Amino acid sequence: MLVLSLVLSAAAAWAANTSCPTDYTSYVSQPHGPFSSGRYHLSSMRPPPECRTFVSPEVEQTIARMKRTIADPDLFRLFENSWPNTLDTTIKWRGHAEGSDEELCFVITGDIDAMWLRDSANQLQSYLPVLRRNSSSNSIASLYRGVINLQSRYILENPFCQAFQPPKESGLPPVQNGASHDDTVFPPYSNQTVFECKYELDSLAAFLEVSSDYYSATKDAAFFGKYQWLDTVRAILNETRAMQIGTYSSNGSVNTSPYTFSRTTSSSEDTLDNNGIGNPFKTGTGLVRSAFRPSDDAAIYQGFIPANMMFATYLQSTSAIAAAVGQPGLAAEMQSFAAEIRQAISKYGITSISNSIFGQDNIYAYEVDGYGSRNIMDDANIPSLLSAPFFGYVDKNDPVYQATRKVLLSEDQPYYMAGPVISGIGSPHTGPGYVWPMSVIMRIFTTDDDEEITSNLKLLLSSTNGLGLLHESINAYNQSDYTRPWFAWVNGLFGQMILDLDSRKPYILKQSFQ
């Protein structure tokens, strides 16, 4: 028996109601009244309540409370549009596994009609401030359970892939990414269930992240013992242990890589060299290799430090779940693995630099290969080096992190851009000249300096081209030149940051930005 708790997709809901936008990507590319009363006249971008893909009373109550808290009308409008964007537009389908009471939730990124492990985990993290234990199928807790269960299915079926098609129970058709027919991937996959199969360590860390977030807020240990969570954790441990393998064995022969990826493409970031295995990686570092970054771009050196940081952090925190469901041996294994990766980061991921601006200092490298090669840069996508305190790897006052942060937020870092519209870190994914608001938000999260927070809030507020939603990236010299008008993750992250400021620096939200 097919047990479904059907929820209309955004497209179906909009089509069923003539007052709803028929295409949200087009809708958010144009301004709509009523406009905010501040100098930026920010558009109203929320769909009407009947058109939203999920409605949470807790979220609506928080928005109403923040209207009384945020003094600046433009800043409130940006919060009001942004924070609920995932719920308003991207909960594509909710239901149950066939023949089971197992909740499932398919969350798209926005204008890409597929579910990324990383994006969906971070999209839900935006609502961590209102997450409470709740057995109702119409709760934020239910969305978390549904995402955790669906991610478990995805990882068990295709552990090296990062983006997926709708589950069969949804009845939604798969979509194509336009390049899958050119891929040569091992292990192979079906594009009926997988949207993209670029192995990214942070995608596995994201599963642990959303699990840790749910458990820390609800202490609902029973949930993790019911379905496939323990099997998924064991699969992740097996895969990541396998991906500690180096390029060469002890006798000098080339090891067989557990994962390879080749694509016919005009972009070097979209494929791996050396017949799909990537650049050589040293055996015995203790780091877990990552073929691709969270931008979905190929790593230059597969010792990708931010993902190892994130993985170690959430291995440690989710070990408490394993212990709570009666698996002390698994918990101990997770803790030991986390400590091993931390030790490897300290040994291989910290490097010395010397230049005329910062002098000589120890900082974190973005990528390493274990042979001494290093990549000194950052990418706005999380996990990034800038975001290491945000996901709990290191205290923001740690001296190595502080030295790293100074370099990352300077023009000595190749993907830091400064312009009259916005200044911040970008990504090779969109190319030089484009700043990602995600990095500006993360700069606010990782500082206690009031002036730095205020100046970067002003940048975010003034750079939406009047549309009142944040974009993937913005030309630092032309705010009307941006990528992805509908990108739910960054908008939710903005709202999460505002709620964080409300908790730790509420007086900043009483300022005028006019």
Mean pLDDT of all residues in 284-312: 98
Backbone angles phi, psi at 363, to 5 degrees: -135, 165
Q: Return the sign of the alpha-carbon dihedral for residues 82, 84, 88, 92.
A: positive
28-510 adopts what CATH topology?
Glycosyltransferase (1.50.10)
* pLDDT-wise least confident of 21-25, 27-31, 45-49, 265-269: 21-25
Q: Is the pLDDT of residue 266 over 50?
A: yes
pLDDT at 17: 56
pLDDT at 357: 72
CB 26: neighbour CB atoms within 10 A?
11
Q: Is the pLDDT of residue 497 over 90?
A: yes
Q: pLDDT digits over 421-450, tens only?
A: 999 999 999 999 999 999 999 999 999 999
pLDDT at 148: 98
pLDDT at 31: 94
For the chain, what are the domain ranges? 28-510
Say which DSSP state 192 is in: T
Q: Is the pLDDT of residue 298 over 90?
A: yes
Is the pTM value of this prediction over 0.85?
yes
Q: From the centroid of its chain, how far is CA 248? A: 32
pLDDT at 18: 54
Up-side HSE of residue 128: CA atoms within 13 Å toward CB? 20
- Report which of residues 416 and 180 the model is more confident about: 416
Mean pLDDT of all residues in 74-90: 98
pLDDT at 358: 74
CB 4: neighbour CB atoms within 10 A?
16
What band does 356 get if pLDDT is binned at 50, 70 and 90?
Answer: low
- Report which of residues 21 and 127 the model is more confident about: 127
Mean pLDDT of all residues in 411-416: 94
Burial of 398 (0-12, 13-18, 19+ CB in 10 A): middle
Q: pLDDT digits over 302-342, tens only?
A: 999 999 999 999 999 999 999 999 999 999 999 999 999 99
